[in-house]
């Protein structure tokens, strides 16, 4: 494991340094897109108070990110070109650039979706769920898009067009509900872990946590932990989305408290699917030689390194899109990813949690942070990871089936 950790650090350093040297982001040329949001008008550039174009007819065109830079999605700003009429109505809109995970935001990029902004007044709510329809599985990104358009348009209307802006009450209740549900989920898992250490038979606590993880992180919020969240931060694509920070802090807390992959064993929605399928469908675990199994388990590290290196060097998140939970819970994947999702789910009765054991990049990243503790976690015949006796800490997801509170009183020379 020490070697894997060193190699991982080397890959990270290489990716960051190489990316810094090689990656240069093309500046956006707004002029190229003016005809798409305000056809037939000719514009002149104005620098203040925010950079914008203005036509003889009085239409102003601006990039929302330049006017409201504080508004961000999961992975930084969603730069959107908006045309505003002298009366304060949106007459054109085009998304110029974003770094959101492509699977989640396909619907948001469609022309039909963006059409609903046209004709809206700056004093309209411009809020998802009120006068803007959301996109299933992309709530956070769509909210960031709508907020960017709303805030930037109102600023431009007030400060450039001299219009009266009556800012209405913003609907925050749903955002708070989502945030509270996510924080509550992590608190429940941590409390359950603490209780299960004292009462190892209360396994239903973990089942309930997995079910809640599936419902909240998977089906409702479509926001399972992804390596892209961390890679985006390393690329300085900082998000202002509270949900992301609660997720990252929650996962970090589970590693600190359990010194292991508590997230995988208690919260991961894909882990929940894998485990429930393995329990519901009849099947007998394939006999796999221990050395073969060890080799397969090592696979997840080079896969993680390759993905991280490619993303850090190129800045393109598509290179990490082999995460099955992203495909499954965004309901959007290419045929190869759907095939991987199907195999990873359906083969579980014969190879328990095969995705988590062999391929998962989040599992690999958390495994690198796990502590080896085979005395407390010696494994059991019911181990959901199919661990052999005295497994590596990296392969234990803290299901607590084998938890031994006190170190056994046998000396090492008597073991095995
Ligand atoms: S080693 Fe023990 S605690 Fe870890 S996953 Fe297996 S049975 Fe659960």
How would DSSP label each residue in 325-362? HHHHHHT---HHHHHHHHHHHHTTTTSTTHIIIII-HH
Domain ranges, ordered by start, for the chain: 34-159, 174-406
CA 304–ligand 1 middle distance (angstroms): 23
Rounded (10°) CA dihedral 222, 143, 69, 308 = 10
Asked if residue 101 has pLDDT above 90, the reply is no
Closest by alpha carbon to 60, among 46, 71, 70, 79?
46
Asked if residue 252 has pLDDT above 90, the reply is yes
Going by alpha carbons, the residue nearest to atom 6 of ligand 1 is: 383
CA 205–ligand 1 middle distance (angstroms): 15
> Confidence class of residue 407 from pLDDT cuts 50, 70 and 90?
low
Alpha helices in 239-287 (DSSP H): 242-258, 262, 269-280
Ligand 1 near 396 CB (within 6 A): yes
Question: What number does the ligand 1 atom closest to the CA of 403 have?
Answer: 3
Asked if residue 204 has pLDDT above 50, the reply is yes
Ligand 1 near 398 CB (within 6 A): yes
| Average pLDDT of the residues in 153-161 | 88
> Confidence class of residue 289 from pLDDT cuts 50, 70 and 90?
confident
Going by alpha carbons, the residue nearest to atom 1 of ligand 1 is: 379
Write out pLDDT tens, residues 205-241.
Answer: 999 999 999 999 999 888 899 998 898 888 887 777 7
End-to-end CA distance of the chain: 22
CB 78 within 8 A of CB 146: no
Going by alpha carbons, the residue nearest to atom 4 of ligand 1 is: 396
Cα gap 156→148, rounded to integer Å: 12
- Worst-scoring range by mean pLDDT, 135-144, 388-397, 401-410? 401-410
Cα gap 379→381, rounded to integer Å: 7
Cβ-defined contacts of 175-181 (< 8 Å, 24+): 175/143, 175/242, 178/139, 178/220, 178/221, 178/243, 179/242, 179/243, 179/246, 181/216, 181/220, 181/221
CA 399–ligand 1 middle distance (angstroms): 5
CA 395–ligand 1 middle distance (angstroms): 8
Which of 27-31, 56-60, 184-188, 348-352 reaches the highest mean pLDDT?
Answer: 184-188
Q: How many CA atoms lie within 13 A of 77 on its CB side?
A: 18
CA 221–ligand 1 middle distance (angstroms): 28
CB 59 within 8 A of CB 42: no
Average pLDDT across the chain, whole number? 86
Asked if residue 104 has pLDDT above 70, the reply is yes
Question: What number does the ligand 1 atom closest to the CA of 382 have?
Answer: 7
The region that residue 239 occupies, defined by phi over 0 for left and psi between -120 and 50 for alpha, beta otherwise, is: beta
Write out pLDDT tens, residues 361-388.
Answer: 999 999 999 988 888 888 888 888 888 8
| Average pLDDT of the residues in 299-313 | 93
> Confidence class of residue 411 from pLDDT cuts 50, 70 and 90?
very low
Distances from the Cα of 344 to the Cα of 223, 329, 339, angstroms: 19, 14, 8
Polymer length of the chain: 416
The phi and psi torsions of 73 (rounded to 5 degrees) equal: -95, -150
Q: CB atoms < 10 A from the CB of 211, how many?
A: 13
Ligand 1 near 155 CB (within 6 A): no
pTM: 0.77
Question: What number does the ligand 1 atom closest to the CA of 400 have?
Answer: 3
CA 393 to chain CA centroid, nearest Å: 25
Ligand 1 near 385 CB (within 6 A): yes
Provide the pLDDT for residue 49.
82
> Confidence class of residue 190 from pLDDT cuts 50, 70 and 90?
very high
Ligand 1 near 55 CB (within 6 A): no
CA 4–ligand 1 middle distance (angstroms): 22
Provide the pLDDT for residue 415.
41
Which of 96-110, 128-142, 308-322, 400-414 reaches the highest mean pLDDT?
Answer: 308-322
The phi and psi torsions of 150 (rounded to 5 degrees) equal: -65, -55
Ligand 1 near 400 CB (within 6 A): yes
Ligand 1 near 217 CB (within 6 A): no
Asked if residue 100 has pLDDT above 70, the reply is yes
Going by alpha carbons, the residue nearest to atom 7 of ligand 1 is: 383
Q: What percent of the chain has pLDDT over 70?
A: 95
Cα gap 228→182, rounded to integer Å: 19
Cα gap 245→312, rounded to integer Å: 21
Ligand 1 near 397 CB (within 6 A): yes
């Amino acid at each position: 494991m020490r070697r894997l950790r060193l190699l991982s650090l080397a890959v990270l350093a290489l990716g960051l340094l190489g990316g810094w040297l090689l990656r240069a982001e093309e500046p956006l040329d707004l002029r190229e897109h003016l005809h798409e949001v305000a056809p037939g008008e000719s514009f002149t550039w104005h620098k203040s108070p925010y950079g914008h174009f203005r036509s003889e007819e009085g239409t102003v065109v601006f990039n929302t990110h330049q006017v409201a830079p504080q508004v961000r999605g999961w992975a930084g700003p969603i730069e959107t070109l908006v045309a505003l009429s002298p009366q304060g109505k949106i007459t054109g809109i085009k998304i110029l650039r974003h770094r959101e995970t492509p699977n989640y935001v396909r619907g948001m990029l469609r022309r039909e979706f963006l059409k609903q902004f046209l004709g809206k007044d700056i004093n309209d709510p411009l809020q998802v769920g009120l006068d803007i329809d959301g996109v299933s599985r992309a709530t956070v990104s769509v909210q960031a898009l709508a907020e960017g358009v709303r805030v930037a348009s109102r600023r431009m209307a007030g400060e450039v067009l001299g219009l009266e802006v009556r800012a209405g009450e913003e609907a925050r209740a749903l955002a708070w509900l989502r945030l509270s549900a996510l924080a509550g989920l992590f608190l429940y898992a941590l409390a359950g872990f603490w209780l299960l250490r004292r009462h190892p038979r209360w396994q239903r606590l973990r089942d309930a946590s997995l079910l809640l993880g599936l419902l909240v992180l998977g089906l409702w919020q479509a926001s399972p932990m992804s390596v892209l969240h961390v890679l985006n931060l390393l690329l300085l694509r900082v998000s202002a989305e509270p949900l992301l920070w609660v997720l990252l802090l929650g996962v970090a807390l589970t590693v600190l408290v359990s010194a292991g992959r508590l997230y995988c064993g208690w919260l991961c929605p894909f882990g929940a699917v894998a485990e429930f399928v393995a329990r519901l469908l009849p099947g007998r675990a394939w006999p796999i030689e221990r050395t073969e199994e060890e080799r397969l388990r090592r696979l997840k590290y080079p896969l993680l390194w390759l993905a991280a290196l490619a993303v850090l060097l190129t800045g393109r998140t598509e290179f990490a899109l082999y995460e099955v939970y992203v495909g499954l819970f965004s309901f959007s994947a290419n045929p190869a990813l759907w095939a991987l999702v199907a195999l990873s789910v359906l083969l579980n009765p014969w190879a328990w949690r095969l995705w988590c054991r062999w391929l998962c990049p989040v599992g690999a990243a958390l495994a690198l942070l796990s502590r080896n503790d085979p005395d407390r976690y010696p494994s059991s015949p019911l181990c959901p990871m199919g661990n052999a006796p005295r497994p590596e800490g990296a392969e234990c997801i803290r299901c607590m089936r084998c938890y031994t509170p006190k170190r056994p009183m046998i000396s090492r020379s008597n073991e095995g």
